[in-house]
Amino acid sequence: MPARPETSRSATGHTTTLAERKRRAGQRLIMGLRGPSLDQEQRRFITEVQPGGFILFARNIEGAEQVAELNRELVDLCPADRPPLLSLDQEGGRVLRLKATPWPSMRVLGNADNLGLTGQVARAMSDELRATGFNLNFAPVCDVDSNPKNPVIGDRSFGPSPAAVARHALAFMEGAHSRGVIACAKHFPGHGDTSVDSHYALPVVDKELGELREVELPPFAAMVKAGVGMVMTSHVLFPDLDRDLPCTLSEKVLKRLLRGELGYGGVVISDDLEMKAVRGRWPVPDVLELATRAGVDLFCVGRSFEPELTLSAEVFDGLVRLSELHRSLELLTEDSVKRLWALRVRFLLRPPAPADRSVVGCAAFRALAEAARQLGGASGIA
């Protein structure tokens, strides 16, 4: 990363130190790792950047003992007063990073339509996650499965009914939060009616706001009202909301709709910035500025070290520079850091005692997963 001046003066004359800008920038980054262990390059980068957290994928997880040790090392590399968010996508079904128990998909739980069962599965899942060092699960999916041609959501959704999705998402969230795992409602304001996968292209959904209020928004509104820990944006373009920008970059979607109309005051995280819906369509500095103005607090870079530190370093340096552009961006950055601190206070500073590691993949949890499949059908078995 290029050298940066020790102090910087914004357009309004406000001066901040490089150390302050780097600390705030690092806290707004959730980054991925190469494999199941850290090498010296990764350790150096983490020590310098002090990221807000990490996201692990199947490539990083070989087993309970290994991933618990990896998470322990990540904690040790971060400041004790800013414990990192240790996250993964543990939805069940085909999106299952820790594979000790073959948890069924959310569609199976929606089909079973037993809120007690959904909560029980969420608590058991969260016990496994806390036992292996995780504190944030990018679940539940709050998208309503309203398009049979959708290539990416499908059985990751609880189903096609907005009311049912809302009920089960709430049950899942309450189960996770009760075990000290932060739940994340995704992908705002809805990815269920797309016919394009945002990993590879920019989906466009031509729906009017009135229809969005009837179908896509009810699960998110319910989660916001109930105090969900985090909301993830979608890289989807809704022309009736914003003709030019996908939701992650849009003030009209995030500032007006999520934070304004729905009243959400918590942490907003972007979907992965490496997804082709945004990557390469806008320069990284523009993405960071637009998303910050829209209300995004955390930026997710899932494959930070593949093949080298390019995007994660570019995002970090871009966030360091952001506060130099205008006092308003510096104030928005301060707001994001305050929201992240409030999230830590709520979930990380006094967490419940984690379950013993012996629960990971235990017979009782495997029997629970099988019982859920029997009640809800075999869709999405891992």
- List, in sequence order, the alpha helices (H) in 215-362: 217-226, 251-253, 284-294, 310-325, 327-347
pLDDT for residue 4: 46
pLDDT for residue 306: 55
CB-based burial label for 198 (10 Å; 0-12, 13-18, 19+): buried
* pTM (predicted TM-score): 0.93
> Token pair for residue 343?
């999230």
**Dihedral, 184, 186, 188, 194 alpha carbons, nearest 10:** 180
The radius of gyration of the chain from alpha carbons, rounded to an integer in Å, stands at 20
Residue with tokens 């959704």: 157
> Token pair for residue 187?
């992908």
Residue with tokens 């190469």: 34
Backbone angles phi, psi at 283, to 5 degrees: -60, 145
pLDDT for residue 327: 87
Sorted by where each begins, the domain ranges of the chain are 26-376
Torsion sign (Cα): 97, 100, 105, 106: negative
**CA–CA dist 15, 334 (Å, integer):** 14
Q: Are 87 and 338 in contact (CB under 8 A)?
A: no
pLDDT for residue 378: 60
**CA–CA dist 330, 347 (Å, integer):** 26
Q: Of how many residues is the chain composed?
A: 382
**CA–CA dist 329, 336 (Å, integer):** 10
CB-based burial label for 341 (10 Å; 0-12, 13-18, 19+): middle
Task: Going residue by residue through the chain, which has 382 residues, state the pLDDT in tens, using 9 for 90 and above.
Answer: 444 444 454 444 556 788 999 999 999 999 999 999 999 999 999 999 999 999 999 999 999 999 999 999 999 999 999 999 999 999 999 999 999 999 999 999 999 999 999 999 999 999 999 999 999 999 999 999 998 888 889 999 999 999 999 999 999 999 999 999 999 999 999 998 887 778 888 989 999 999 999 999 999 999 999 999 999 999 999 999 999 999 999 999 999 999 999 999 999 999 999 888 898 899 999 999 999 999 999 999 987 655 545 788 999 999 999 878 888 999 999 999 999 999 999 999 888 888 899 999 999 999 999 999 999 986 433 3
Instruction: Give every CB contact of residue 69 below 8 A, 6+ residues apart in sequence.
Output: none
Q: Are 285 and 318 in contact (CB under 8 A)?
A: yes
* Fold for the domain defined by 26-376: TIM Barrel (3.20.20)
Q: Is-cis flag, bond preceding 187, omega within 30?
A: yes
Show which residues are catalytic.
199, 271
**CA–CA dist 223, 171 (Å, integer):** 10
